[in-house]
Amino acid sequence: MDLTDIRARIDEIDDGILSLFCERMGLASAVAEAKRGSGRAVFDPARERDKLARAAAAAPGELEPYVTSLFSLLMSMNKAEQQKVMRAGDPEAPSAVARASYLDVDSPFPTTATVACQGVEGAYSQIAACRLFRVPSITYFSTFEGVFRAVRDGFCDYGVVPIENSSAGSVNAVYDLLAQYRFSIVRSLRLKIDHQLLAKPGTRLADITEVHSHEQAVAQCAGFLERLGCRVRVAPNTAMAAELVARSDRRDVAALSSRACAGLYGLDVLESDVQDTDHNYTRFIVISSQPQVFPGATRTSLMLTVNHEPGSLYRVLERFYALDVNLVKLESRPIPGRDFEFMFYFDLDCPAGSRPLDVLLDALDDVCERCTYFGTYTEVV
């Protein structure tokens, strides 16, 4: 057979595969109805293991891994379709609950609001809040939990908190608070971070023996600090570090902080842009106690707790793949009180109102212990 004949035969086989695949997926409705009538779960691990074992045994040895992957994906897509059928018309279905938080197209993101931030004036959270809201009324709190409590208690409409940095990684305390409070994320921002070394007027770089800043800023400037060869003191916030230096009687201390803090606290910039990489961005999120999905939202965040058994995370990832959902971030955090067990945070490129998002939200129950939908939102860059 020449190449033309081979390709023609492949096309014939593919047509047959497509026809059988459509027929197989069409049976999902009948399977779902039968399971609903008998009260059985969509995921039947014993039958799935048996199916995969029989497929692997029937395949030629060199094709066994491919056959197993193919049938595993087929069953994942079929289970997703069954979940969709079983959830249809259910007002308590995850997709229906999520859609209830969608706002009308004439409900743009607010330009003014009461906003809670951690730190003091000049903090990067304040800079982020002023980028996210045109005229925010900002109240400052000393801790991230203070921000969450202010939103929970209705003292502020929204909170703005950092969640990850491109070089120093995730802000674990914020992830843990998201799990605890189960707030919604309604917007996010990628903010370019440039750290300055600030000190009292007249101070020389050679005079500095101690530098204060937040632990993330310290991590982002680790190389510079090593070359400087001074003590490092961790502060609750970069702006609070600048405020501490301004109030100190010592002239051998400095702060890693924003340029805005130099003017705010009467400090000089001894060294500019001292972060180790120029590609230094921090993602900030806007949290709300009430679910709100504003028009044009394209990024979705979820938290999943999976069973503590082999393959449990794989089944979740397989479901994303089956629905052609792009995963842009995966973060794990320990589950309090459960040794060596983890919850997982996912950021997905999955727009509000899209069919893949609806099917995904309704198709995760059988592959995880618990799923929390944090919202779908726009990321400002």
pLDDT surpassing 80 at residue 339:
no
Of the residues 245, 271, 297, which one is the last residue of a structural domain? Answer: 271
* Degrees to nearest 5, angle at CA 108 with 102 and 109: 90
Q: Which of 183, 284, 344, 346 is catalytic?
A: 284
Please check the confidence at residue 338 and state whether its pLDDT lies above 80.
no
Percent of the chain scored above 70 by pLDDT? 100
Residue that terminates a domain, selected from 88, 117, 151: 88
Confidence of residue 81 (pLDDT cuts 50, 70, 90): confident
Residue where the block lists tokens 């400090």: 267
233 lies in some domain:
yes
**Can you tell me the distance from the alpha carbon of 225 to that of 233, in angstroms, rounded to the nearest whole number?**
11
CB 266 within 8 A of CB 279: no
Task: Please give the C-alpha separations between residue 3 and each of 10, 14, 107, 273, 310, in angstroms, as whole numbers.
Answer: 10, 16, 57, 60, 43
What's the whole-model pTM score?
0.85
Region 184-189 average pLDDT: 97
284 a catalytic residue:
yes
* Mean model confidence pLDDT for the chain: 91
Residue 264: CATH number of its domain: 3.40.190.10
For 258-293, how does the pLDDT look when each residue is reduced to its tens digit (9 = 90+)?
999 999 999 999 999 999 988 889 999 999 999 999
For 350-369, write each residue's pLDDT tens digit.
Answer: 999 998 999 899 888 778 88
Kindly state whether residue 135 falls inside one of the protein's structural domains.
no
The pLDDT value given to residue 20 = 93
- Amino acid sitting at position 175: Y
Domain limit, last residue, from 256, 271, 286: 271
Query: Is residue 206 one of the residues assigned to a domain?
Result: yes
Rounded to whole angstroms, the Cα distance separating 33 from 36 reads 5
> Would 166 be classed as within a structural domain?
no
Residue 331 included in any domain: no
Residue 6 lies inside a defined structural domain of this protein:
yes
Structure confidence by residue, pLDDT tens digits, 45-55 = 888 889 999 99
CB neighbour list of residue 118: distance below 8 Å, 6 or more residues apart: 125, 140, 141, 142, 143, 144, 146, 147, 161, 236, 237
Which domain, by its residues, includes 49? 1-88
Active site residue 300: no
Least confident segment among 143-147, 217-221, 365-369: 365-369
Instruction: Give the integer Cα–Cα distance in Å for 55 and 260.
Output: 64
Instruction: Report the domain count for the chain.
Output: 2
Q: What is the CATH number of the domain that holds 54?
A: 1.20.59.10
- pLDDT given for residue 184 in this prediction: 96
- Cα–Cα distance for residue pair 174/215, rounded to 1 Å: 14
Let me know if residue 50 belongs to a domain: yes
Higher pLDDT, 151 or 340: 151
Does some domain include residue 179?
A: no
Catalytic option among 282, 300, 376, 378: 282
